[in-house]
């Protein structure tokens, strides 16, 4: 077991807002995409660290429903990076027992990228060591709205009555319906906001805001954040035992 492994019970599901790629590049006098490429290399390192750290589910925010407002060059560069990531990492993900899922609305994504996402989900569908979920064209409000629409259709078509709608029923219509709720949400780069990420699912999550820019967020720092989570007392609205 590596020396930074977390021997005690840590968070089973960690979600990460990978922020700070642009500033990381800017500090080096390079274009923003240079930072996104460095960020993609960190994704690999953090995914590979998960089994040693007791993290079974990792959910990462790669592209939000609001990120379309960036320049056309940056958006196109990010989309091309996602395609390259899938191409480059697919074999290792299959080999390393990583099950990949994508959440978010695929409707606005390029057909070729969507086909690659579907293929990667299928290729890794028998894996169970780590569950990596990549949020792509994802927004929490958008996800809940899409879920509510589908729920309304079920009622309209007589498959469900309005009396049967409760939190559990609504959860079944979310993109994350097969995942447990996140235990810990980490945001890098010193910003303390959640930016529409997993709004419903994070109702009882712990949050960690770290100053490090995402391309500098190492396995060692990941281990430190997970260790500090272990010291928290999660009460889910109840009182301590």
Catalytic residue IDs: 19, 67
Binding mask 40-69 for ligand FPP (x = CB under 6 A): x--x----------------x-x----x--
Nearest partner of 131 among 176, 168, 196, judged by Cα: 176
Binding mask 157-196 for ligand FPP (x = CB under 6 A): --------------------------------x-------
Please identify which residue in 5, 23, 77, 152 interacts with ligand FPP, judged by CB under 6 A.
23
- Per-position DSSP letters for 196-220, written without gaps between them: TSSTTTTTT-EEEE--S-GGG--HH
**Strand pairing report for 98-103 and 57-64:** unpaired
If binding means CB under 6 A, how many residues of this protein chain bind ligand FPP?
Answer: 20
Compute the residue count for the chain. Answer: 241
Binding mask 110-139 for ligand FPP (x = CB under 6 A): ------------------------x-----
192 SS3 class:
coil
Pick between residue 82 and residue 229 the one whose CB is nearest to ligand FPP.
82
Nearest partner of 6 among 57, 52, 56, 58, judged by Cα: 52
Please identify which residue in 11, 21, 151, 184 interacts with ligand FPP, judged by CB under 6 A.
21
The distance of closest approach from Cβ of residue 106 to ligand FPP in the complex, given in angstroms and rounded to an integer, is 15
Which of these segments, 12-20, 50-58, 115-123, 169-177, binds ligand FPP (CB under 6 A)?
A: 12-20
Which of these segments, 8-16, 21-29, 175-183, 193-201, binds ligand FPP (CB under 6 A)?
A: 21-29
Does position 83 interact with ligand FPP (CB under 6 A)? The reply is no
**CA gap 232, 206 in Å, rounded:** 9
Q: Are 66 and 202 in contact (CB under 8 A)?
A: no
**Helices 32-53 and 72-95, interaxial angle, to 10°?**
30
Angle CA 143–148–153, to nearest 5? 130
Structure tokens at 232: 């928290």
Chain residues in the site for ligand FPP (CB under 6 A): 18-23, 32, 36, 39-40, 43, 60, 62, 67, 81-82, 85, 134, 189, 214
């Amino acid at each position: 077991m590596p020396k930074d492994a977390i021997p005690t019970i840590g968070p089973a599901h960690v979600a990460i807002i990978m922020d700070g790629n642009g500033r990381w590049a800017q500090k080096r006098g390079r274009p923003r995409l240079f930072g996104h490429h460095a960020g993609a290399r960190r994704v690999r390192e953090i995914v590979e660290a998960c089994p040693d750290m007791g993290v079974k589910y990792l959910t990462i925010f790669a592209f939000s429903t609001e990120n379309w407002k960036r320049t056309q060059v940056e958006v196109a560069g990010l989309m091309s990076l996602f395609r390259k990531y899938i191409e480059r990492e697919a074999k290792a993900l299959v080999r390393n027992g990583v099950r990949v899922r994508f959440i978010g609305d695929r409707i606005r994504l390029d057909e070729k990228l969507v086909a690659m996402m579907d293929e990667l989900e299928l290729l890794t569908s028998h894996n169970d060591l780590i569950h990596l979920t990549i949020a792509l064209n994802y927004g929490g409000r958008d996800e809940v709205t899409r879920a509510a629409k589908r729920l309304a259709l079920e009622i309209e078509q007589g498959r469900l009555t309005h009396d049967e709608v409760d939190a559990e029923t609504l959860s079944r219509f979310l993109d994350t319906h097969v995942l447990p709720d996140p235990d810990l949400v980490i945001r890098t780069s010193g910003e303390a906001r959640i930016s529409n990420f997993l709004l419903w699912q994070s109702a009882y999550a712990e949050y960690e805001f770290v100053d490090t820019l995402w391309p500098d967020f190492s396995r060692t720092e990941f281990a430190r954040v997970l260790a500090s989570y272990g010291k928290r007392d999660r009460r889910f609205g109840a009182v301590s035992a």
